[in-house]
Amino acid sequence: MKFEEMAKMPLTSLPTSFYKMANLTEILGGPDIYIKRDDVMDLAHGGNKTRKLEYVFADALSKGADCVITMGGIQSNHVRQTISGAARLGLESHAILNIPVPEMKDALSMSGNYLMDVIMDGKIHIVDGSDDDCIAKMQSVKDDLIATGKTPYMVPMGASDGIGSLGYMACARELMIQWENAEVTPSHIFVGTGSCGTHGGLLAGLKYFGNKTTKVIGVSVSQIEERKVADVKDILKQINDVIELPDGLINDDDIIVKDSYYGKAYAYPTEEANEAVKLLAKTKGILLDPVYTGKCMAGMIDMIKKGDLDDARDIVFLHTGGAPALHPYAEYFL
């Protein structure tokens, strides 16, 4: 199949906005900084999963699904958007959740994304264990649903598979049109990278639609560089299984990951990320989050300060959403 032939279920109005952050550029004193507002979308507070879910839900419906099962951390933005999309399409949704920061269990289960998941009638299954335990639980929930006559569809963590990642190929095309209209040729675009579908899809899309200049910088929110590079490669392979990319489209050195900014582990706050959240809030009135976009912005700021981006022309920060997770992290801001 070609990218253009893939079915999509519209779940939000697009394009999202793209503009220059003049005062942040001035404060940081580096290259011109632009922002892409994928945090503003229609599915219950929006975020990057919505674009992926447009392709995932189209696939689910084409297979006759009447319910979806997914997984993530208890503060997952992906889970919130999946439950929102399912509710909008009249599908039952099941979420397998674990608790990545056990010290914050109470805060994480009283507010933020989790609260919204429950309000939107997601059926919640809490697992006291790892992501692998969640994957096993997804399978057992699937078996139970089939036994009751349902047709479940499995949405992988982060909707990061060959189908979901097409959402960020579409975003790459959207960005390229916006860049042309704004007469900018960005040298770098920054994205927080977790399950890597956003990073992989964006990279594939930029190359596929003919961009030869923009480097995708993935700021890891959870793992060392080698792991993330392997995960991005795996995503590219999965995309290739769905839409066959031209040979030699992406080289190994196109996959760039920075792993100095995630702190102790996934979802543990860092001082630098929290400072980045406050900086964007007070200079732009834009809310980032402590788990993903704050860490990505902290990485971008650090690289500007260290002079790593001195040769950069225009740089783009992809705001992937996540502000609902600010609520359980309130103690770091009040």
Ligand X SMILES: Cc1ncc(COP(=O)(O)O)c(C=O)c1O
Which chain residues interact with ligand X by CB under 6 A? 47-48, 77-78, 158, 160, 192-199, 289, 292-293, 320-322
Nearer to ligand X, 30 or 164 (CB): 164
Nearer to ligand X, 113 or 214 (CB): 113
Among 62, 76, 84, 140, the active-site one is 76
76 catalytic, yes or no? yes
Cα–Cα distance, 198 to 252 (Å, whole number): 17
Strand (E) or helix (H) holding 8: none
Q: Give me the least distance between CB of 182 and ligand X, in Å please.
A: 23
Q: Of 77, 110, 72, which Cα lies nearest the Cα of 294?
A: 77
Say if CB 70 and CB 79 are below 8 A apart. Answer: yes
Cα–Cα distance, 322 to 245 (Å, whole number): 31
Q: Give me the least distance between CB of 150 and ligand X, in Å please.
A: 26
Distances (CA, A) of 41 to 23, 132, 179, 254, 291: 24, 30, 20, 29, 19
Q: Give me the least distance between CB of 257 and ligand X, in Å please.
A: 11
Cα–Cα distance, 94 to 125 (Å, whole number): 7
Nearer to ligand X, 145 or 208 (CB): 208
Q: Give me the least distance between CB of 289 and ligand X, in Å please.
A: 6
- Alpha-helix runs per DSSP H in the chain: 22-28, 49-62, 77-89, 105-108, 112-119, 131-147, 166-182, 197-208, 225-243, 271-284, 293-306
User: Catalytic site residues?
Assistant: 76
